[in-house]
A and B are shown apart, each in its own frame.
Chain A
Amino acid sequence: MQKESLKQQLQNLSSQISAMHLDHLERKWITISLLVIGFFVGIMTIDAFFHGINPPGKVETVDSASLHLSKEFAEENLGVQVDDQGNITVRMVAGRYSFFPKHISVPAETRLTFRWVSMDVLHGVHIPMTNMSTMIVPGYVAEITTTFPKPGEYPMLCNEYCGLGHNHMWSNISVIAKENWTTPAKLVSKGGPSHE
């Protein structure tokens, strides 16, 4: 298509739009609607580009059928680990019908990186009243980063149907005041994350 005709087409289109019968109230309402939508989109854009608020989505694959053979998600590497820089990573495996390890302790008001994998089917995990929520899709590592502001005992609930025992799928997490939290001893020296 030549440039000329495209330009003409666009001009046609815009003259047709302006020829449409539009009531002045209707015009006002559409303007308000567009402003409201623009407002929401604006907030999301600013949050995404300046505050780093994004949905999870690392698109990292893993072989869910042989997690025990993988270095990172072998049983002894699960749970809370602190690397040399003091970054905390929590590695968890979901499988019908529990999350492993069954119980973990993490510090409050601290950035935590969760890495979730499934060993069988689709699961989801949510810690109620927090935004620690993600789908756990077999074949992928679900990584999310969050901070828990309030210490307390929280359940971790599976929130995607994964079979008839779905409602029995849950574990516990203790969020401990930052100053009382101690690094789980046996895990300190495991070194940096092996996935990178």
Chain B
Amino acid sequence: MNDASERKLILSHFWVAFIAFVVACFMGEYQVLERSGFIAAWDSPSVYFASVSTHGVLMAFVLTTFFIMGFGYAIAASSLKQPLWNKPLAWLGFWMALIGVVLAAIPLLSGKASVLYTFYPPIVAHAAFYIGATLLVVGSWFWCVIMLVMFKQWKQANPGETMPLAMFATAMNALLWLWTSAGVAVEVLFQLIPLSLGWIDTIDPGLARTLFAWTLHPIVYFWLIPAYIAFYVFVPKQAGGYLFSDEMARLAFIVLAVFALPIGFHHLYMDPEQAKGWKFLHAIGTFVVALPTLVTGFTVIASLEIAGRLRGGKGMLGWVVCLPWTNTMVLAVILSLLMLIFGGFGGIVNASYAMNAMVHNTAWVPGHFHLIFAGTTVIMYLAIAYYVWPILVRKPLFSQPLAIVQLWTWFLGMTILTTPWHVLGLLGQPRRISTVVYNNLLTLAWKPYEFMMIFGGLILLGSAVLFIYILAKTQLSASAETVSVTIEFAEPLHAVESLPLWLNDFKLWNKVIAVLMAISFGYPILQFFFMDTSGSSPWGY
């Protein structure tokens, strides 16, 4: 990444992502305050739902997509050691996605798209919202094309060589995203846009939910994979050790991508439009996809142990103490894994449909995904930013100690925010409510937890602002010393000598995905064309 224009491309993506992030954090804190009823004058469902819709879109679609694109470009350029292919196309994708975000933001902020980031019809938003979201996705497809072309070109130029792990995983993620986004793209193009423009009178909400479920599970792996890439290719090196197993890492990424796709019905466990047999099938797949995460946990901890022992750690747990806790990447991975353990426990509850019935759509659910998404995943985004910023702006990080404080406060804030959120769910509080007006004694028990959440959110907000401050200070500093470091990738403990083709290429896996998707979504989608359904006309909100 010696090329200034490449660095500018990557930085532009990251800035869009992180500005969306910090703006949405302000909204998050407003939301916990509003729903607690603490400030009576703020009570307003129309503002609240406009805010939650915007917060959800900014966090789940804008932060993630732009971050992943920028990160992908950085990985491709640095791990393949070659210039980015077709920069104009990359910029076209960037601008298309950005224009899409602006186009969607107008109705979102003016309360004309308060349909939440899941946009479940037959509630319908202003068409600009759907068109903007489409542009964002199409822009990201350009990124996918660039990643896959670079993957292919490198293979052709280096026949028989092992694809660098970081690029292998990044290209896998691009392939995953193409498959993933197909479901929601069909929903938006054939149902939501035509309905919102009045070209069609009715749609089937059951079909819409099925198509959205196609996307809804693998999209979280699309968000998570950059964090896992950092686990495997940055962490061991930063900790001063080696990657425990390169082959196992590839296998984990493959199983992750392949099994993330055909299991979306765990989002429809409580739905009437799909039969229990399909739900059972998707439930099994949901448990299978826990395997790569368990393997990842093992590999990361084993890699950390190697590093800790190389640094002089002795005994059962002495190596933990010897880890470089003041390295942002190492600290982040430790905190990330801690949140993953608790989040994974919650995930098992959600995946088991009998237990899920108790917590479905309660406050437990946002509690769970803030922990695992805003926590486990985003803390790695933050650490990646700290790692690549000096490389991108060629100046030293403004303050290492402040960055450490920032990561700790993100973890602390997330713990304080999400623990009471889970409890509220167990106490029956529904998600997505702007006030508590149920005339019931039960709601008295909710109050203290809502106050705790305000406190947790405040810590998180401060932490997010500090993060932006550190990045901006780094970039704007008049520092005389120029940093010319490059991204360093971890070496595996055992050098990879030769890899079977199926661990170095996606052709086979693409076919496997196609077969699994045909099995798990074929009939469930086709049934809507054979059933005698009566569509729903559009509704406001």
Q: Chain A: residues with CB nearer than 8 A to chain B?
A: 13, 16, 19-23, 25-26, 29-30, 33-34, 36-37, 40-41, 44, 47-48, 53-65, 120-122, 124, 126, 128-131, 133-143, 155, 157-168, 170
Q: Which residue of B lies closest to A43 (CB)?
A: B352
Contact B357 A131 (CB under 8 A): yes
The contact sample of 30 A-B pairs, CB cut-off 8 A, is: A13-B502, A16-B502, A29-B294, A30-B295, A33-B294, A44-B284, A44-B353, A53-B354, A54-B276, A54-B353, A55-B353, A56-B270, A59-B527, A61-B533, A122-B120, A122-B122, A124-B270, A124-B360, A124-B361, A131-B357, A133-B270, A135-B271, A139-B533, A139-B536, A140-B206, A159-B362, A159-B432, A160-B361, A161-B432, A162-B541
Contact A157 B430 (CB under 8 A): yes
Q: Which residues on A sit within 8 Å (CB–CB) of B436?
A: 167
Q: How many residues of B contact A (CB 8 A)?
A: 77
Given contacts A57-B275, A138-B122, A157-B438, 12 further A-B contacts (CB under 8 A): A26-B245, A33-B291, A55-B279, A121-B539, A126-B430, A130-B358, A131-B357, A135-B270, A139-B534, A140-B206, A159-B362, A168-B437
Q: How far is the CA of A97 from the CA of B258 in the complex (A)?
A: 41
If A56-B276, A161-B49 touch, whether A155 touches B248 (CB-CB below 8 Å) is no
* CB proximity of B104 to chain A, nearest CB, Å: 18
Q: Which residue of A lies closest to B442 (CB)?
A: A128
Please tell me which one of the listed residues B276, B287, B494 contacts residue A57 in the complex, with CB atoms under 8 A apart: B276
Q: Which residues on A sit within 8 Å (CB–CB) of B360?
A: 124, 126, 133, 159
Contact B291 A34 (CB under 8 A): yes
Q: How far is the CA of A13 from the CA of B273 in the complex (A)?
A: 39
Q: How far is the CA of A30 from the CA of B46 in the complex (A)?
A: 50
Q: Is B102 positioned at the interface, with any CB of A under 8 Å from its CB?
A: no
Number of A-B residue pairs at CB separation under 8 A: 208
Please tell me which one of the listed residues B114, B295, B353, B532 contacts residue A29 in the complex, with CB atoms under 8 A apart: B295
Q: How far is the CA of A12 from the CA of B353 in the complex (A)?
A: 39
Q: Which residue of A lies closest to B348 (CB)?
A: A40
Q: How far is the CA of A131 from the CA of B357 in the complex (A)?
A: 5
Contact A164 B114 (CB under 8 A): yes
Interface flags for B289-304 (1: CB within 8 Å of A; 0: not) read 0110011001100100
Q: Is B6 positioned at the interface, with any CB of A under 8 Å from its CB?
A: no
Q: Which residues on A sit within 8 Å (CB–CB) of B536?
A: 64-65, 121, 138-139
Q: Which residues on A sit within 8 Å (CB–CB) of B46?
A: 164
7 cross-chain pairs, A with B, having the tightest CB-CB distances, nearest first: A128-B428, A159-B430, A131-B357, A159-B361, A142-B272, A167-B433, A63-B534
Q: Is B21 positioned at the interface, with any CB of A under 8 Å from its CB?
A: no
Q: How far is the CA of A130 from the CA of B270 in the complex (A)?
A: 14
Contact B430 A57 (CB under 8 A): no
Q: Which residue of A lies closest to B495 (CB)?
A: A21
Contact B272 A59 (CB under 8 A): yes
Contact A167 B435 (CB under 8 A): yes
Contact B531 A61 (CB under 8 A): yes
Q: Is B88 positioned at the interface, with any CB of A under 8 Å from its CB?
A: no
If A155-B440, A163-B123 touch, whether A137 touches B362 (CB-CB below 8 Å) is no
Q: Which residues on B sit within 8 Å (CB–CB) of A44?
A: 280, 283-284, 352-354
| A-facing residues in B405-433 (Cβ within 8 Å) | 427-433
| A-facing residues in B261-290 (Cβ within 8 Å) | 268-276, 278-280, 283-284, 287-288, 290
* CB proximity of A40 to chain B, nearest CB, Å: 5
Contact B537 A137 (CB under 8 A): no
* CB proximity of A147 to chain B, nearest CB, Å: 13
Q: Which residues on B sit within 8 Å (CB–CB) of A126?
A: 360-362, 428, 430
Q: Which residues on B sit within 8 Å (CB–CB) of A22?
A: 245, 248
Of listed A16, A20, A120, A170, residue having the most chain B CB within 10 A: A20
Q: Is B159 positioned at the interface, with any CB of A under 8 Å from its CB?
A: no
Contact A25 B302 (CB under 8 A): yes
Please tell me which one of the listed residues A53, A57, A165 contacts residue B274 in the complex, with CB atoms under 8 A apart: A57
Contact B269 A40 (CB under 8 A): no
Interface flags for B201-215 (1: CB within 8 Å of A; 0: not) read 000111001000000
Q: How far is the CA of A136 from the CA of B120 in the complex (A)?
A: 12
Q: Which residue of A lies closest to B49 (CB)?
A: A164
Q: Is B244 positioned at the interface, with any CB of A under 8 Å from its CB?
A: yes
Q: Which residue of A lies closest to B492 (CB)?
A: A21
Q: Is B191 positioned at the interface, with any CB of A under 8 Å from its CB?
A: no
Q: Is B434 positioned at the interface, with any CB of A under 8 Å from its CB?
A: yes
Contact B244 A121 (CB under 8 A): no
Contact B532 A61 (CB under 8 A): yes
Q: Is B312 positioned at the interface, with any CB of A under 8 Å from its CB?
A: no
Contact B434 A167 (CB under 8 A): yes
Contact A16 B270 (CB under 8 A): no
Q: Is B535 positioned at the interface, with any CB of A under 8 Å from its CB?
A: yes
Q: Is B401 positioned at the interface, with any CB of A under 8 Å from its CB?
A: no
Q: Which residue of A lies closest to B266 (CB)?
A: A55
Contact B276 A55 (CB under 8 A): yes
Contact B247 A21 (CB under 8 A): yes
Q: Is B315 positioned at the interface, with any CB of A under 8 Å from its CB?
A: no
Q: Which residues on A sit within 8 Å (CB–CB) of B494?
A: 21
Q: Which residue of B lies closest to A120 (CB)?
A: B539
* CB proximity of B300 to chain A, nearest CB, Å: 12
Q: Which residues on B sit within 8 Å (CB–CB) of A33?
A: 290-291, 294-295
Contact B269 A55 (CB under 8 A): yes
Contact A133 B358 (CB under 8 A): yes
Q: Which residues on A sit within 8 Å (CB–CB) of B430?
A: 124, 126, 157-159, 167
Contact A57 B284 (CB under 8 A): no
Contact A133 B357 (CB under 8 A): yes
Q: Which residue of B lies closest to A158 (CB)?
A: B430
Contact B432 A122 (CB under 8 A): no
